[in-house]
Every structure is written in structure tokens, then in C-alpha cells.
Structure 1
Amino acid sequence: MRTAPPGPVMLDVHGLELDAEDRELLNHPSVGGLILFARNFHDARQLAALTDAIHSVRRPPLLIAVDHEGGRVQRFKSDGFTHLPSMHTLGSRYEADAGGALADARAAGYVLAAELRALGVDLSFTPVLDLDYGRSGVIGDRAFHLDPAIVAPLAGALAEGLRAAGMKSVGKHFPGHGWAEADSHVAIPVDERDFDTIWALDIRPYLDLGRQIDAVMPAHVIYPAVDRMPAGFSRTWVQDILRGKLAFDGVVFSDDLSMEGASVAGDVVARAEAAWDAGCDMVLVCNARDQAVKLIDGWRPEFDSVRSARVASLMPARPYGDRSVLAQDARYRDALDAVRSLLA
């Protein structure tokens, strides 16, 4: 078993169990985390075995993450995983009953985190803090609401539920992906608005939440009024605004470097260097094994103990549970009833 501090790269694995190439990549000193997808899940027993194998590769264990927001972005949907509502559902409920919606958001966060933690997943990239302007198809009902004064308390309540179940939170996509119409997975989105407008609206949830959010993921969106580079490659956005004006000292993840929205920075090594220089603590390369190999072979960032410690802080503090423990958790049962009522 390799002993090494977490590196700055998060990548993925092919299937339902680790193969020899997966293990070799996960042992690379540049790797510090792994993101799971639907292809990595068959059933609860298999997922628990996979996460145990990943955590056993090295010490300290690698951070295991997933995009598991609820609604249409939920990687695991069977064998005991609750189908969670979209965040837009919670926003709509808030308009009629703010207190009830906040309670439901806490319940959804608790169920989300408890079910993942019971099978060894450490982190979900949630909540989405983008505003729903009705313009972005890739965001859409993943957003809580158009009004930042509704988004912030709901996201805070969701994060509270996550934290109660032993999981940290990741706000995305800073400073906001809701206005840009293009999908950064396949295009290069541009948001032409001025900084004062973005600050007053899209950044408001980040400002209101502060350290209720443990990590942030910048958007692969260009805001030309501020910088010619996408936010995740911009020292202005990451260092001057997020770290400076907002005083955020948590983890900053890049969005997936294999997305088209990242292509403006060059090849995958240039993209990683740009994100690292901008101030990202960990960079993601997903669904592109050749690019992941190229990155860890060709990129040699100087070890940064502060960034490494930030990433390590996202690991759950308490031991992993399991499905039998979850079944005895009265708070989980109550939260599950609340979520099911919301979906009824």
C-alpha cells in the first residue's frame, strides 16, 4: 500500500471493479481523488466493494466523489438509493412554504449523504448555486430558483443536512452558469454581463453562505467583462474575487478539464496548469482515460502542503457506516419520509 499525501488530480475508473491499470493510476503521486459515474454502479454490494478497494489503495485514502444532486443528475438510482427531487422542486415549495421547504432541503441533504456514506462515497458535488434564468438547458431544474435570496437559504439547509450525515458540500458553478445558454460540456459558454450585475445576483448565494459551503467549483464560462479566460482558469475570479472579496478559504475544484468549455486553455496539461495557476486545489479529468494518463505523465506541479491539506479536509471525519447502520438511524428514517412526501 502506497503512503503519500493527496495529489491535485481527480480521475475516474472504467467499470465495476478496479483493474490493474486503475490501480497503477490511483497510486500515482499526482492523484488525490476519484469520481464515480453510473457505469461504476450495479448494486449496493458491488459499490461498497469498489469504494473499499479504492480506499485501500493508499494512505491516506483517496477522496471518492460523485455528481449526485437529485433530479436528473443522480448517478445511483436503484438498490436502496432514494430518487431525490430536483432542486427546482424545493425552490417551488419555498414560494408556498419557506419553513417547510428548508426542512425538506435538510432532509434531502441528509438522505443524499447518508446513503452515499453508507457505501463508502465521501463527497457529492452539490449544491448547485446557479440561478435559474430559464436560459441554460444544462442547468435548468438543477437550480433551486431565480431569486438568490431563495437559493442561498435552501442551499444552506441542504448543506446542513449533508454535514449532519458526515459529508461536506461543494457549491457550483462559480460565479454562475445560469445566464450563459451554451452547455460547457460541448461548447464554450460566454456571459456578456458586467461584473456589478453578476456580483449583485449570481454571486449573492456565495456571499450569503460563506463557509457553510466547504468547496467551490468554478464554471467553464467566459465572462469577458472580467477576464478573457473561463472562471476556473482565471486568477481574477479565483484569487481576487473568490479568495479575496469573498474571503473563501475552502477547497476549489476545477470543473472537468475534458469538457469543451476548457479547450480555450490548450491541451490537458495546459488546462491543468492554467487551473492550478489560477488557484484551483484539485483538477478533474473525466471520461477520457488517455487525457488522464497524458496529464499525470506530463504535469509535475510543485507539492503544495496547504492545498493538499484543504483537499484532505473534505474526507469524512467519522468511520464509514453501512446499510445495517443506516437502517437503525432514526434521523435517516424521518428524513426519508419527508423526501418521499415531497415526491408524492
Structure 2
Amino acid sequence: MTLHAPLIIDVAGTRLSKSDKRRLAHPLVGGVVLFTRNWENRAQLTKLCRQIKKVRADLLICVDHEGGRVQRFRSDGFTHLPPMRAFGEQWFQGQGAATGEAALNACNAATAAGFVLGAELRACGVDFTFAPVLDLDHGGSTVIGDRAFARDARVTTLLAQALVHGLAQSGLRNCGKHFPGHGHVQADSHVAVPVDGRDLATLLADDAAPYRWLNASLASVMPAHVIYPQVDVRPAGFSARWLQDILRGQLGFTGAVFSDDLSMAGARQIEGRAVSHTEATLAALHAGCDLVLLCNQSLVDKGAPIDDLIDGVSEAVLSGRWHPNAASEQRRQDLLPQGYPLPWDELMVDARYMHALSLLP
């Protein structure tokens, strides 16, 4: 048990190197995020997850696995899940749309998708996925696009709740993203710093509404690397106004808060000033994040940016510039999966799983 392990890092390949094991063993590291480069097949992925758990059993093994174009594992039996827009289309355009039957069928299908997604990941040893997307489809965002369920916040909320229910059936917790909403801006925060000029009342009534309606369902939330200047000059993930006053205070959220990837362009400037990974991490933690992600840095200079981050946060602890938070650590621990997963071969003949597959659009 660590006092607080806020760092979620990546590993370079399909098995752990000595450097990976050393980093994952550090008490400030709370988990690992996997990518397509970490995948060859199910047997290899399962072995990699076992290696990670052998380093420390409480490490949280995460992945961005939503369905559609954001799905890291696509071969060797993994189901090609539809993008979330497919469920919104089923709601509005499916048989029985006029009577509401299509909406109920769409919710049932979203639950099935959540179960399939979670059960397949768990069968290979993965603990957690960053889903569902709660961004609204305003029509102009290429980075969100069909990852969103719908334009309507109410429809998005009910379909997301259904997906969360399916994830829970598999034993996986969930992560709503990207608070308070990334769907209105056209810029991609991977390569730019998007700005959404709408006021707080508009945001709370529209894009951020699912977070209020789902405050009893969401296990974690990921804020957007977007600046909303009428609310705060800082991106939401670095803003105590957004994370503490609004998300926790006004909207009643009690779960874990992840930063989005701190290597993204949207996270490399705060109030017009370029910041290091360590500065960005400390800013996110002080703002109210419980966990911070630094992705794809194991590929840079043999992982030197990860080592620099671990050293930087360690120094901040020793100098008193950051104090580990026991409540944040408990929130991290609460994200670990519940119950025992079905092994892959048993899952393939499981009645619930086969029925769920039949419900996918």
C-alpha cells in the first residue's frame, strides 16, 4: 500500500524491460496505460499484464478502448465494437423511433457493448478503460466526431449510463470524458490549445449536464485540455475552479479525477507559459486531479522523460511543494476491477456474452 501513487505511465514494448520494471515499482507510480504497440496477440497481452502485476499487484492497468476508431486491440478474437454514434443513430433512427422503443433498444445495445468491451479486456488482464465519452457531437470536432453518442445531452447521458452498466457487469469501472466538454471546439488538444468561449451557464446547461446527471454512476472523470476563458484562464485539467468548485462542488462528483495526457500540446502551456512535465503534473494535482497520465514517453530517449517526471515529483514531495493525498490514493484503489474475470475460452461460450454480441448494432 502506497501513500499516494498518482502517476500513470506507459511502457515501450510487448514485454517489460528492466527500466519498465524499475519505474513501475516506484511508489509514486500508480498504473500503466497500454497502446497498440504493446499488443501482438491475446497470449502476449495476458503475459504482459501478469508481468505488470508481478511488479506490484495494485498497479492499475489502463487502456483507451472505447470502440470505433479508438480501440487498441482489434485482432485475435477481439470484437470490433461500433463507434458510440451508432447507438445514438439507433436511438433516433431505429425501428420504433416514434414510440420510444428504438431508444430502449439503443440503451440495451449500449449495455451489451459495455459488457463485451469490459469482459474481453478483463479476460486478458486489463483493469480499466477510459470510457465512456460524454462529449456532445456539435458537428465541428474531428477529434471527437463519431466518438460521441449524440448532440443531445439527455440522450448522451442515458446511453452512457447504459454503457457504464455493461462495464460494471464485467467488473470494470468507468471514466467519463472530457469534462466539461470537448465537442464544441474544432481544435485538437493533441496538437493545439483549444478555446471554448461560451459562458458557464451555457456549459452547465448543455455539455457539462451529463456529469451532473451521472454523478452517482461515474467512477472517474477526465477533464479536457480546453480553455474556457469565461470561467478560468487555465485549461480545465489545471483549474481548481473547474475541478473543485464546479465538478465536485456544484455537480457533486465524488470519484477519481484523471488528467488527460500531459504530453499533449494542450497540456504544455499554462497561462501562456511553456511548462515541463513535472510542472504540468504538479499543477494538475494542485488543481484537484488524483491521477495524471504521461503517455508515449517511454519511446523518447529511452524513457528519460518518465524518469525526469518521477524524480521531479519525488523532489516536490521532499521539499514540501506537493503533499501526497490519502483520499486520492483510495480513489485510485477503488478503480481496480471487481470480482474475477472469465478466462477467454470460457467467455467465448458464455451465454450472456454471446447474447450481448447479438445486440450490437
* Distance (whole Å) between structure 1 residues aligned to residue 341 and residue 6 of structure 2: 24
The percent of aligned pairs where both chains have the same amino acid is 51
Residue number among 142, 148, 153 corresponding to 1:137 in the alignment: 142
The answer for the alignment partner of 2:130 in structure 1 is: 125
The answer for the alignment partner of 1:337 in structure 2 is: 358
The answer for the alignment partner of 1:69 in structure 2 is: 66
Q: Deviations over 1:74-123 (max 9, x none)?
A: 00000010000000111111113101100100000000000000000011
- SS of aligned partner of 1:335: helix
Paired residues of 2:67 and 2:84 also in contact (CA < 8 A): yes
- SS of aligned partner of 1:32: strand
The answer for the alignment partner of 2:153 in structure 1 is: 148
Kindly state the Cα deviation for residue 250 of structure 1 after the two structures are TM-superposed: 0.1
- State yes or no: 1:309 paired with 2:333: no
* Distance (whole Å) between structure 2 residues aligned to residue 6 and residue 51 of structure 1: 22
- State yes or no: 1:279 paired with 2:288: yes
- State yes or no: 1:298 paired with 2:298: no
Kindly state the Cα deviation for residue 319 of structure 1 after the two structures are TM-superposed: 2.7
* Distance (whole Å) between structure 1 residues aligned to residue 329 and residue 80 of structure 2: 34
Q: Which runs of 5+ in 1 are unaligned?
A: none
When the two structures are superposed, what TM-score results if normalisation uses the length of structure 1? 0.96
Paired residues of 1:285 and 1:291 also in contact (CA < 8 A): no
Q: Deviations over 1:212-246 (max 9, x none)?
A: 11100000000000000000000000000001001
Letter in 2 for 1:79: D
* Distance (whole Å) between structure 1 residues aligned to residue 33 and residue 342 of structure 2: 20
Q: Runs of at least 4 residues of structure 1 off by over 3 A? A: 3-6
Letter in 2 for 1:55: K
The answer for the alignment partner of 1:217 in structure 2 is: 222
Q: Deviations over 1:261-314 (max 9, x none)?
A: 001131111100110001000000001133222111111342211100000001
Paired residues of 1:66 and 1:75 also in contact (CA < 8 A): yes
* Distance (whole Å) between structure 2 residues aligned to residue 6 and residue 223 of structure 1: 30
Letter in 1 for 2:75: S
The answer for the alignment partner of 1:269 in structure 2 is: 278
Q: Which runs of 5+ in 2 are unaligned?
A: 94-101, 299-303, 315-321
1:1-344 alignment, distance < 5 Å: 4=2, 7-59=5-57, 61-96=58-93, 97-265=102-270, 266-289=275-298, 290-300=304-314, 301-339=322-360, 342=361
Kindly state the Cα deviation for residue 338 of structure 1 after the two structures are TM-superposed: 1.4
Letter in 2 for 1:7: A
* Distance (whole Å) between structure 2 residues aligned to residue 12 and residue 320 of structure 1: 24
Kindly state the Cα deviation for residue 325 of structure 1 after the two structures are TM-superposed: 2.7
Kindly state the Cα deviation for residue 199 of structure 1 after the two structures are TM-superposed: 0.7
Counting matched residue pairs gives: 337
Paired residues of 1:6 and 1:33 also in contact (CA < 8 A): no
* Distance (whole Å) between structure 2 residues aligned to residue 178 and residue 294 of structure 1: 33
Kindly state the Cα deviation for residue 317 of structure 1 after the two structures are TM-superposed: 2.1
Letter in 2 for 1:309: Q
* Distance (whole Å) between structure 1 residues aligned to residue 111 and residue 9 of structure 2: 30
* Distance (whole Å) between structure 1 residues aligned to residue 19 and residue 323 of structure 2: 25
* Distance (whole Å) between structure 1 residues aligned to residue 118 and residue 216 of structure 2: 19
Q: Deviations over 1:193-213 (max 9, x none)?
A: 111111110011111111211
Q: Deviations over 1:140-173 (max 9, x none)?
A: 0000000101100000000000001100110000
Kindly state the Cα deviation for residue 327 of structure 1 after the two structures are TM-superposed: 2.4
Moved more, 303-312 or 318-327: 318-327
Paired residues of 2:4 and 2:324 also in contact (CA < 8 A): no
Kindly state the Cα deviation for residue 6 of structure 1 after the two structures are TM-superposed: 5.5
When the two structures are superposed, what TM-score results if normalisation uses the length of structure 2? 0.91
Kindly state the Cα deviation for residue 322 of structure 1 after the two structures are TM-superposed: 1.6
Moved more, 175-184 or 263-272: 263-272
